[in-house]
Amino acid sequence: MRPEVSLVLEEHAKRLAEKIVPQLTGFDANSVAMISFMLTMAAEEFERAASRRVEENEAIRVIFRAAADTVVDPALASRLRALAGTADKDLRVSRLEISNNELRGALSDLHAHIESLKGEGARKINDMIWSELRRSVERRRVALANF
């Protein structure tokens, strides 16, 4: 047997919501309903976990390649060029998350630096950063979230 993690989580969530919650009351019913909801969210995140990180990591690398000539801090420019040349070869989510954290940390440093600069090049990079930050929020959106 090869369990499909998303399907297993979704099925358990459905069983809890449809079979168990109706038999409970008060705090217990609310707790089990919340567990069901969290299982559904975990199934969604499991399904997209690797692709979201690969997409985001590459989008950040694109920004670094575009920014390298605009950055006036030599150490930051060197760091960005090095990170822009990396690739996600190991697709385990834990490894992708490590890369994502490193890239996002450098993106934060780039953003602080770019906001201190004037000129069209800096404005373009700043716009690229804000655009990617908006897309990263959208990538993380939970379909069932009511907020």
pLDDT tens, N- to C-terminus, the chain (147 residues): 788 999 999 999 999 999 999 999 999 999 999 999 999 999 999 999 999 999 999 999 999 999 999 999 999 999 999 999 999 999 999 999 999 999 999 999 999 999 999 999 999 999 999 999 999 999 999 887 664
Gap between the Cα atoms of 63 and 51, Å rounded: 19
- Domain assignment present for residue 145? The answer is no
Domain count, the chain: 1
For the record, the structure tokens of 96 come out as 């992708």
Gap between the Cα atoms of 12 and 115, Å rounded: 48
- Domain assignment present for residue 146? The answer is no
- Domain assignment present for residue 102? The answer is yes
- Domain assignment present for residue 17? The answer is yes
Q: Are 107 and 67 in contact (CB under 8 A)?
A: no
Question: Range of 123's domain?
Answer: 5-140
Gap between the Cα atoms of 96 and 56, Å rounded: 10
- Domain assignment present for residue 147? The answer is no
Cα–Cα separations (whole angstroms), residue 42 to 26, 35, 49: 24, 10, 10
Q: pTM to 2 decimals?
A: 0.85
Gap between the Cα atoms of 95 and 48, Å rounded: 15
